[in-house]
Amino acid sequence: MNDETKPKRSKFEPVRSDFLVFGSPQIEQAEIDEVLATMCSGWLGTGPKVARFEGDFARYKQVDPSFVAALNSCTAALHLSLRAANFGPGDEVITTALTFCATVNAIIHAGATPVLADVNAHTMNIDPNAIEAHISPKTRAILPVHLAGRACDMAAIMEIAERHNLLVIEDCAHAIETEYRDRKAGTIGDFGCFSFYVTKNVVTGEGGMVIARNTADIKRIKSLALHGLSKDAWKRFSDSGYKHYRVEECGFKYNMMDLQAAIGIHQLARVDENWERRRVVWNHYQEAFRQLPVSRPPEPAPDTRHAHHLYTLLIDEEAAGISRDAFLDAMTQQNIGVGVHYLSIPEHPYYRQTFGWRAEDYPNAMRIGQQTVSLPLSAKLTDTDVEDVVRAVRRLCN
C-alpha cells in the first residue's frame, strides 16, 4: 500500500459504534401503512391524498384550503411563486447571501435577477438595512429565508416592501412551525414556500407546498405545476367521464404524488410533538455548550416561535483551537454526522462568474459560512444520541 491508499488512521476515537446520520427523518408505522394503502389503491399520482394533505396543511397554517398547493419541492414553490407574480427579465429580487442555493436558483429560473443582501451578524437572517441599501428602480420583490427556523424581522421587511411597492416571498423551508407576533411563517408575505425534503421538519421524501393570498394565484400555480394544463387535470381519469384538457401556457412538471402525500399526512399530524422534542434537544445543547469557547445560536426572539430546524455552532479557530473544517472531520471520525448551513452564496463559482459577486462584500454571511456547523437535531434522536453529540463536541473544544 502506498500512502494514498492506506486508510487514514483516525485521530479521534468514535464516541459510538454506529454512525449517527445527520438529519435522518423519524418515520413511523402510520406513514408506512398509508404508503402501502396508496400502492394498493392503484392511484399513485396526484389525487385524493394530495388534496387531504393540502387541507391538513391549510388547517395547520390557519388559511383557506384554496390558498395552498402541494408541489414536488420548495424550489418549485419558489419558482412558481415568482412566475405567478409575473416576474421575469429585468426584474430584481433581493434575497439573503446566507441560504441554500435553491433560493437563488429559483430567481434565476424565473428569468429575474437575484440581488444579495448581507445578514445580521447575530440573527444570521437577512438584514433589513442591507435590503434597503440594494433597492433599485428594478426591484420587484424581497425573498427572506427564516434560517434555521428563526423568524426574520418581518415588521421591518413588510414596511420596506410597502414603502417601495414590492412583493414578499417567504422561503419557509426551515420554518413550518415558525411564528412571528402571532402570525404564522409563510402567511405574512405574499407567498410562503415550504420544503418536505428528507432532512426537513415534515418529510415526504421530496415535496413542497406554497401558500398564496388568494385562490387565483393558486389556480395559476397548480396549472403551471402540470404543464400549464387547464383546471383539475387529474380528474381526467376519474369515473366522472373523460374531460379534454387545454394547454393554456408553457408550464412545468412540479406536481406532488399521492405516494408522497401519504407520508406527509402522518408527518404533519406529529409536527408539534416533533417540534417539542427538537426544542428540548436544542435547549439541552444550549446548556451543554455554555462553557465552551464557541458561539451558540441566539435565543429565540420574544414574540416569536422558533422552528428549531437547525442547531448551529460557530467555530472561530482562534478561540476554539480547532478550525471549522477540522471540527467537521473530527465529528465525522467520532461517528457523528454534521452539516454546514451554509457557505455564503458568493463563495460558489457559478454565482461569482455570472454576477461578479465577491464574498468580502457580504462579510457577515461570509464569516458565518466559514464558521458554522450544524449538529444533529431530529425528533428521532434518543437521549443517548444527544449525549454522544455533546461528548463529541466537548472533546474537540476543551
Ligand X SMILES: *Cc1c(COP(=O)(O)O)cnc(C)c1O
Given 200, 219, 222, 235, which residue is catalytic?
A: 200
* Best CA proximity match to 171, nearest among 142, 132, 201, 139: 142
DSSP H/E element including 372: strand 372-375
| Pairwise CA distance, residues 182 & 290, whole Å | 30
CB–CB of 162/187 below 8 Å? no
d(CA 170, CA 95): 10
CB-based contacts of 45, cutoff 8 Å, min separation 6: 234, 255, 257, 258
- Provide the 8-state DSSP code for 296: P
Does 195 bind ligand X (CB under 6 A)? Our answer is yes
**345 is a site residue for ligand X (CB under 6 A):** no
Q: Which residues between 233 and 252 bind ligand X (CB under 6 A)?
A: none
Binding ligand X (rule: CB under 6 A), the pick from 35, 49, 61, 75 is 75
76 versus 322: smaller Cβ distance to ligand X: 76
- Rounded distance, CA 307 to CA 324, Å? 25
First to last CA, the chain: 36
Residue 223 in contact with ligand X, rule: CB under 6 A: no
Q: Quote the least distance from Cβ 389 to ligand X, whole Å.
A: 21
User: Which cell numbers in the block locate residue 166?
Assistant: 414590492
Interface with ligand X by CB under 6 A: which range of 67-75, 86-94, 116-124, 235-243?
Answer: 67-75
| Shortest CB 254 distance to ligand X, Å | 10
Is 100 a residue that touches ligand X (CB under 6 A)?
A: yes
| Residue from 34, 127, 170, 171 binding ligand X (CB under 6 A) | 171
Interface with ligand X, residue 57, by CB under 6 A: no
Query: Could you say which of 74, 152, 224, 265 contacts ligand X (CB under 6 A)?
Result: 74
User: Is 208 near ligand X (CB under 6 A)?
Assistant: yes
CB of 383 to ligand X, least distance (A): 27
173 binds ligand X (CB under 6 A): yes
Q: Dihedral sign, CA of 15, 335, 308, 263? A: negative
Where do the H-state alpha helices sit in the chain?
Answer: 29-41, 48-61, 74-84, 101-109, 128-133, 154-164, 215-224, 258-269, 271-288, 317-320, 324-333, 349-355, 363-371, 383-397
Examine residue 96 and tell whether it contacts ligand X (CB under 6 A). Answer: no
Alpha-carbon span 334 to 19, nearest angstrom: 8
Handedness of CA 33, 39, 40, 44 (dihedral sign): positive
Find the binder of ligand X among 142, 145, 203, 320 (CB under 6 A): 145
State the minimum distance, in angstroms, from the CB of residue 145 to ligand X. Answer: 5
Nearer to ligand X, 259 or 330 (CB): 259
> Using the rule CB under 6 A, which residue among 38, 46, 81, 103 binds ligand X?
103
- Minimum CB separation from ligand X for residue 150, in Å? 12
Residue 200 annotated among the catalytic residues of the structure: yes
Q: Name which of 68 and 320 has its Cβ closer to ligand X.
A: 68
295: contact with ligand X by CB under 6 A:
no
Interacting span for ligand X (CB under 6 A) from 58-66, 100-108, 154-162, 321-329: 100-108
Q: How many residues bind ligand X (CB under 6 A)?
A: 14
Encode 316-336: b = buried (16+ Cβ within 10 Å), e = exposed. Answer: beeebebbbeebbbbbbbbbb
Segment lying near ligand X (by CB under 6 A), choices 98-106, 130-138, 260-268, 271-279: 98-106
Nearest-approach distance from CB 312 to ligand X, in angstroms: 13
Q: How far is the CB of 218 from ligand X (least distance, A)?
A: 18
Task: Please report how close the Cβ of residue 355 comes to ligand X at its closest, in angstroms.
Answer: 19
Strand partners, 229: 247
Whose grid coordinates read 393540502? 54
Residue type for position 33: D
Catalytic residue numbers, as ranges = 200
Q: Which residues bind ligand X (CB under 6 A)?
A: 73-75, 99-100, 102-103, 145, 171, 173-174, 195, 197, 208
